[in-house]
Chains A and B, each alone.
Chain A
Amino acid sequence: MRLSDAFSAASDSGRAALVLYITGCYPDKESFPGILATAAEYADIIEIGIPFSDPLADGPVIQKASEHVLAAGITTDDILDALGALPTPLGKPMAAMGYWNTVFHYGMEAYATRCAEVGISGVILPDLPPEEADEWLEIADAKGIDTVFLVAPTSSDERLQLVAGKARGFVYCVSVTGVTGARTDLPPELGEFVERVRKFTDKPLAVGFGVSTPEHATSVGQMADGVVIGSALLRAIDPAATQEQRLASVRKYLEPIRKALKGD
C-alpha cells in the first residue's frame, strides 16, 4: 500500500489523514504489536521510529523512548523483524522514521530491501536533506519505497522548490522551528507556511511537531492533508503500566483526536 493512497482515502471521506508515530518495539518487544494494532485502528499511516543514540531532531519524549528501547538491547533488525511478523496485518501503510546513520551503516541497499520485505512503504529521514540523498533515492525508488522529505518554516522558497522536486509520498511540514514534542499552542503563522509550501508541490502535505490536542488536530486538519502525532501518543504509553491499561490509555487519547478530524 502506498503512502499516497492513504491520503486519497482520507480525503475521499472528507478529512485529513492521521499519521501516528510510535517508537519501534516500545515499550518492549512483546507489547509493541498490540499497541501498534490499536493505534492502527485510528491511523491512516503508521510511522515506526527506528531509535538512534543521538536523535538531534527529537525532544525529550521521543529521546526517552529511544533510550528506553536501546537500553533494552533492541536493534534495527529487531524492529524490522517485528513488523515482518505482525500477527495480523495493520491494513495501513507504514513508514520508517529514523536518522541517516542507522540507514547508512546498515547499508542502503540492505535497508531498502529489508524495509520492502516487511511491508514498509516509505522512509522519513529527518537529517538527510535532499542534497545528500541522490544515491539513497535511486536505491529506495527501485524497491518502491517512498522517501519523505521535511520542510520547515525557515526553508527558503529555493529550498521548498528543491524538496518538492525530490518529494515522494508526501511532504512533511515541520510546524515549528524546534524539535519534536507536544506544545500548548500551534504557531500562528502555520497556515501561511502550509500555503507557501503548497505553491511548490501537489503532493499531500502533512504537518507534524507539536501537534497534540483534538483542537490542534482540527485546526491542522483544515489547513493540511495530514496530521502527524508522535510525542503525545508515546506519553499515553506508560512502560510501567499493564498492557491492558496502555491500550485503554491509547484509545482514550486517540478517540477524541480522530473525532476532531471529522470536520464536516
Chain B
Amino acid sequence: MSTLDIVRAALGRAEDTPDTSGHYGPYGGRYVPETLMAALDELSAAYDAARVDPKFQAELAEYLSEYVGRPTALTFAPRLSARVADQADVNAEQIRIYLKREDLCHTGAHKINNTIGQLILAKALGKTRIIAETGAGQHGVATATAAAFFGLECCIYMGAEDVKRQSLNVFRMKMLGAEVIPVSAGSKTLKDAMNEAIRDWVTNVRTTHYVIGSVAGPHPYPMMVRDFQRVIGVEAKKQFLKKEDGALPDYIVACVGGGSNAMGIFHPFLSEVAEGKVKLVGVEAAGYGLESGKHGAPLALGEPGVLHGSLSYVLQDQFGQIAEAHSISAGLDYPGVGPEHSFFKDEHIAVYGSVTDDEALVGFRDMAETEGILAALESSHAIAYLRKLVADKKEDLKSGEPMRILLCLSGRGDKDVQAIADHLGIELGDGLAPGVKGSGS
C-alpha cells in the first residue's frame, strides 16, 4: 500500500457515525455561540468534499510521506514484552508487544497528522490566520510547524500553568514563528486555553481557522480529527498483519486525554472489534488517584455534560460547573473527552482504564530502560497500563497462543524530561543530576 492508498483508506471509512448533525448516540453535536455556526457549516461542507477529492487526498499523502515521515514504524518490543511478562509472572514468550511509533513523526507526536490535514483545508477556505489551543504543547508545536510550512500567521493559546511546565515547547513554537498567548483564567491549563481560543475564533472567524487538536469540540471536529488520525490505525493494521503472519492484535492500548491518538488507532479495527477478534483499551489519567478527586478521568468518574461545543462525559460538580482536572501529563490534564469515546464506553466498544502519575513514571522508565525510547508522559500512561492488562488477562494465556498487544506510542518524551525531573525532585542545570554516573562534577 502506498501512502496515498493509506490516506484513501483512512478518509474513506465506511462506518456511519456520526449522523449528519454530528451525533454519536446521544453525544457530540454542536453547542456553540451562533456566531460560529456558519463557520462550522462551511468547514463541514469543505471537509465532506475534500475527503473524497483525489486532489486533496494526493496532497495530504504527499505531505504525510515527504514532510511528516509516514508511514511510521511498527516496532516489536521484545525486552519490554519480557519485563511486562515478568511483572505479571507469565512466560516471556507469551507476551508480544508492538509499538506504533508516532513518536517518529516530524515534531515528535501524532498531532501533526491532523494539523497538516486541517491546514490544507484552511488554505482552501481562504483563511489567512491559524489559531490553536495546546496542553502539553505538542499540538501547538504541530500547528506552528504546519503554519510555518504553509506560510500562515499562527497564534497558540496555552494555559499559564502549562507554559511553565512545558517551557521547551513554548520556545519551539516561538522559533517556528508562532505567537504564544498564556491564559491565566481558571485552572490555567488546556481547558482554559481552549475557552480563549474559541473566544478568539468567535471574534475573528471570518479570517481565522481554528485547529482543534483532539477528537473534541463541535461537529465536524471530532469526526474530522478522527479521520485525519485514522492513518495511524490503517498503517498499524497492515504492518501488524505482516509481522505477525496474519494474526491481529488481541488488545490495542492507547492513552486518552481528548482521545485523538486512541481514536486514530482504534477506529480502523472496528469491524474486527465487532467480530470479537480485537479489544480496545483506552487509558485515562488517574492523577493522584481516582479517589483523590485530582485526576483526568471523565470516562471513569465524569457525567454527561457539554464542554467546548459537544456533549460527552465531563468532570463537573452537581450544578454543572466544570471541575479542574489533574495529571502529571499536560496532554491528559483535561476534564472532558471526545464524544465518540463516550459513545464507545456506553456501547462497550472499548473499555477504559486509568493510571496514576506515579504509575505513568514507572511506564516511562520501563520503556526507556528496555527499549531505549523516551516516551511522552501521555503515552507512558498506556505503557504503564500493560502490567495491569496482562495481570488481569492471565487466564487468556492458557490457550497457549501468545497475547499480542498493539500499543500506540503517541509521542516522544524529550519535552517531558524537565517535568519528570521536577516530579522526582531533581535539579537539572549545572553539572550532572544526582544518581547519574560520570567523570565530570
Contacts and interface: CB of A to CB of B under 8 A. Distances in A.
B186 A54 contact: yes
Contacts of B29: 131-132
Contacts of B199: 56-57, 59, 179
Interface in A148-177: 149-156, 159, 163, 174, 177
A150 B320 contact: no
Interface string A42-57: 0000000000111111
Contact of A151 (B34, B306, B307, B311): B34
B321 A57 contact: no
Contacts of A150: 33-34
B305 A101 contact: yes
A76 B319 contact: yes
B125 interface: no
A101 B322 contact: yes
Contacts of B202: 56-57, 177-179
Nearest to A105: B320
Interface stretch (B35-43, B47-55, B241-249, B288-296): B35-43
B81 interface: no
Interface in B185-231: 185-186, 191-192, 195, 198-199, 202-206
B319 A105 contact: yes
Given A54-B186, A57-B202, A75-B319, A104 B305 contact: yes
Interface residues of A, number: 41
B358 interface: no
A106 B316 CA distance: 12
Interface in B63-80: none
A56 B322 CA distance: 13
A75 B319 CA distance: 7
A100 B31 contact: yes
Given A53-B322, A101-B307, A102-B320, A174 B34 contact: yes
Contacts of A67: 185-186
Contact of A105 (B33, B37, B38, B305): B305
A77 interface: yes
A174 to B, nearest CB: 6
Interface in B7-42: 21, 29-39, 41
A63 interface: yes
A191 interface: no
Given A56-B202, A178-B202, A106 B35 contact: no
Given A63-B185, A105-B305, A177-B205, A56 B316 contact: no
B32 A53 contact: no
Nearest to B39: A154
Nearest to A51: B321
B203 A179 contact: yes
Interface stretch (A121-129, A137-145, A215-223): A121-129
A150 B38 CA distance: 13
A103 B185 CA distance: 23
A137 to B, nearest CB: 15
A159 B322 contact: no
B153 interface: no
Most chain A CB inside 10 Å of its own CB: which residue of B21, B303, B320:
B320
Contacts of B36: 154
B172 to A, nearest CB: 28
Interface in A4-39: none
B223 to A, nearest CB: 16
Contacts of A59: 199
Contacts of B204: 177
Interface string B293-316: 000000000011111110100101
Given A105-B316, A150-B33, A131 B38 contact: no
A70 interface: yes
A132 B303 contact: no
Interface in A73-92: 75-77
Contacts of B195: 54-56
Given A101-B306, A105-B305, A128 B319 contact: no
B28 to A, nearest CB: 10
A203 to B, nearest CB: 15
A104 to B, nearest CB: 6
A126 B305 contact: no
Contacts of B185: 63, 67
A63 B185 CA distance: 9
B208 to A, nearest CB: 10
A166 B142 CA distance: 41
A56 B198 contact: yes
B425 to A, nearest CB: 32
A123 to B, nearest CB: 14
Nearest to B314: A101
Contacts of A159: 34, 37-38
B203 A127 contact: no
Nearest to A172: B34
A132 B311 CA distance: 11
Contact of A54 (B38, B39, B191, B203): B191
Nearest to B198: A56
A177 B35 CA distance: 6
Contacts of B31: 100, 127-129, 132
Contact of A104 (B30, B38, B191, B306): B306
B303 A105 contact: yes
A207 B316 CA distance: 33
A34 B393 CA distance: 64
A103 B37 CA distance: 21
Interface string A174-213: 1001110000000000000000000000000000000000
29 contacts: A53-B186, A54-B322, A56-B308, A59-B199, A67-B186, A76-B320, A77-B319, A100-B31, A101-B307, A102-B320, A104-B306, A105-B318, A105-B319, A106-B319, A126-B34, A127-B32, A129-B32, A129-B34, A149-B34, A152-B34, A154-B34, A163-B34, A174-B33, A174-B35, A177-B203, A178-B35, A179-B199, A179-B202, A179-B203
